């Protein structure tokens, strides 16, 4: 298949679209949190728990989903996952209290779990090393687009139809995309599930992966970076509660932050195809560390907007660079498992970060919480230095 045809492949397009919608579902929540805090009397730590629950359930199943990619058609995993997630978000829209919302977020995480390992494996198998950074960059860019469009649309829909109906409208899109996956053509995976023997194969695959020194280093880098995952979810709440902005203003500022991240994955991915990948990660994380430190010093929209635009660009794009590095240092037959391990670490460890941030914000204010993010970003620079082939 020619390069242009690969980028037009219906499977690749659906993976990209579903990735955008997957992150749209996640990104709509920060715009809802101020309303949930007001309606249900929640603390910041409770919001952190909601974020943690989603990421924990999503991460816990990603290794299994990556492994199942050896035996099942990826379109089935991705399609069923998207349908599941859409239904879970619809359930959230009918939730009468915090307990039901917590359950809904847990179920949504399970539905989201196939997206990253299965989608990334599909892309890594489709493109060669000279196209891989760009292809994964497009995929990450789609996630950024989903994260941008969801809060923007929600900011205008919320005053008109309320948060519950807004969630239901977004859920309908997921059902359409999920069903679409089931109608594309895809070859059956070569393996077959055989109970205990397949689980034994999973254990062997994981052991083989961690015998690779470079893979271990990648996992260390991802572990460090995971401690800054989900922090941006608190930005609308910070704008509303700490700076006294309206929900519309907070949503628009957050949208600006996300818009700046739209070209970032493609830019960093393309740059990493030409330069050393670890250098790209170090530059982006170093700049992000400085900007997270400066964020609480900006008290109004005039100062906040340019800072958020730069922060959005440097802080939302290097995931594809690290994924490209992972694909290059692993054998094709192990990619489903390695991406499963990679995203399991990212989401399970990353689920802790919002709780830490929420506790710091409750106890010491947002300034100390942003200092925490800046410190983790500096540690990510140090860890990325060791990404040498």
Q: Is residue 323 part of a domain?
A: yes
In this prediction, residue 129 carries a pLDDT of 66
User: What's the domain range around 15?
Assistant: 3-182+197-384
| Cα distance between residue 69 and residue 336, in whole Å | 6
- The per-residue pLDDT for 197 is 47
| Residue 35 to residue 119: CA distance in whole angstroms | 33
- Give the chain's largest Cα–Cα span: 61
Query: Would you say residue 102 lies in a domain?
Result: yes
In sequence order, the 6+-apart residues with CB closer than 8 A to the CB of 178 are 18, 78, 79, 80, 81, 82, 83, 84, 86
In a domain? residue 192: no
**Pair 388, 81: CB distance under 8 Å:** no
DSSP state of 69: T
- Residue whose token pair is 């509660």: 241
H helices of 295-334, in order, are: 301-315, 319-328
What average pLDDT values come out for the chain (389 residues) when binned by 10 residues?
A: 58 87 88 86 83 84 77 85 94 89 92 86 75 78 83 85 90 91 71 51 68 78 77 85 84 84 83 84 91 90 90 83 77 71 76 83 89 90 81
CB of 57 closer than 8 Å to CB of 347:
no
Number of neighbouring beta carbons within 10 Å of residue 137:
27
Which among 219, 314, 221 is positioned nearest to 265, based on CA atoms?
A: 314
Residue at 191 is within a domain: no
Asked if residue 5 lies in contact with residue 208, where contact means CB atoms within 8 angstroms, the answer is no
The CA-atom distances, in angstroms, between 204 and each of 67, 71, 176, 198, 200 are 12, 16, 37, 10, 6
User: What is the number of structural domains in the chain?
Assistant: 1
Return the CATH number at 263.
1.20.1250.20
**Distance between CA atoms of residues 40 and 46, nearest Å:** 11
Looking at the domain assignment, is residue 188 inside a domain?
no
What pLDDT score does 324 carry? 78
In a domain, 389, yes or no: no
List the structure tokens of 362. Answer: 């409750």
> For residue 375, what are its two tokens?
């410190």
DSSP state of 238: I
* Confidence at residue 189, expressed as pLDDT on a 0 to 100 scale: 55
Judge whether 337 lies within some domain: yes
190 is a domain residue: no
> How many angstroms separate the CA atoms of 133 and 124, rounded?
9
């Amino acid at each position: 298949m020619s390069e242009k045809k690969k980028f037009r492949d219906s499977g690749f397009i659906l993976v990209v679209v579903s990735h955008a919608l997957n992150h749209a579902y996640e990104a709509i929540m920060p715009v809802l949190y101020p309303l949930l805090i007001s309606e249900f009397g929640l603390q910041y730590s409770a919001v952190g728990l909601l974020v943690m629950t989603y990421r924990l359930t999503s991460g816990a199943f990603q290794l299994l989903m990556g492994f199942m990619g050896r035996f099942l058609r990826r379109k089935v995993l991705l399609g069923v996952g998207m349908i599941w997630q859409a239904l879970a978000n619809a359930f959230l829209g009918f939730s009468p209290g915090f307990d039901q919302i917590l359950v809904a977020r847990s179920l949504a995480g399970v539905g989201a779990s196939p997206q990253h390992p299965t989608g990334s494996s599909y892309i890594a198998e489709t493109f060669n090393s000279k196209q891989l950074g760009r292809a994964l960059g497009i995929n990450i860019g789609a996630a950024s687009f989903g994260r941008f469009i969801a809060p923007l649309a929600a900011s205008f829909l919320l005053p008109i139809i309320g948060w519950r109906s807004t969630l239901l409208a977004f859920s309908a899109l997921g059902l359409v995309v999920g069903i679409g996956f089931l109608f594309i053509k895809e070859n059956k995976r070569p393996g077959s599930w055989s109970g205990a023997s397949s689980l034994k194969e999973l254990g062997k695959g994981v052991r083989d992966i961690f015998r690779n020194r470079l893979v271990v280093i990648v996992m260390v880098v991802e572990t460090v970076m995971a401690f800054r995952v989900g922090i941006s979810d608190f930005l609308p709440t910070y704008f509303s509660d700490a700076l006294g902005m309206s929900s519309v203003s907070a949503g628009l500022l957050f949208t600006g932050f996300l818009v700046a991240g739209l070209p970032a994955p493609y830019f960093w991915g393309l740059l990493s195809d030409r330069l050393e990948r670890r250098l790209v990660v170090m530059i982006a994380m170093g700049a992000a560390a400085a900007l997270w430190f400066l964020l609480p010093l900006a008290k109004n929209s005039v100062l906040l907007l340019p800072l958020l635009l730069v922060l959005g660009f440097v802080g939302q794009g290097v995931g594809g660079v690290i994924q490209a590095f992972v694909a290059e240092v692993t054998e094709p037959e192990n990619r489903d498992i390695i991406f499963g391990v990679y995203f399991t670490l990212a989401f399970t460890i990353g689920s802790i970060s919002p709780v830490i941030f929420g506790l710091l914000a409750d106890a010491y204010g947002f300034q100390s919480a942003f200092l925490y993010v800046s410190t983790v970003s500096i540690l990510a620079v140090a860890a990325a230095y060791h990404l040498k082939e």
